[in-house]
Amino acid sequence: MGHLGLTPQSVMAFGGFRVQAKTMESAKLLIEDAQLLQDEGVFAIVIEGVPSVVGKSVTESLDIPTIGIGAGPDTDGQVLVFHDLLGLTNRQPAKFVRQYAISSRDHRGDSPFRRGRPKWGLPE
């Protein structure tokens, strides 16, 4: 499986969690890279952190499935990282993430769970 766009192992080289392939030239290079990966035999490509028009263009240019992470609605599949969805990290989520909880606050020593334990009859 290939992975293009914002690749987590290269976040610092990209200057943080920033949208990739925002210019016509960089989008064209990303599409070319996707086609090269397909030619080399990958069975699918993850496209992460790119404008939706780029996600759509890559998907339309390939015969293999694409999986988008913040790449718009037109990829063949979608991923949303569970930890981002539930706010289990101590960092600001990417712009495309819809958080349905901010659970990282509950990991402190003074969490609602810890305060509630004596009431529930659980051991200290």
Residues serving a catalytic function are 48
Q: Which residue has the tokens 């990829």?
A: 75
List the Cα angle 94/100/104 in 5-degree steps: 75
Backbone angles phi, psi at 4, to 5 degrees: -130, 160
What residues have CB less than 8 Å from 84, skipping those under 6 apart?
A: 93, 94, 97, 99
Q: Going along 6-80, which residue ranges are E strands?
A: 45-48, 66-69, 77-78
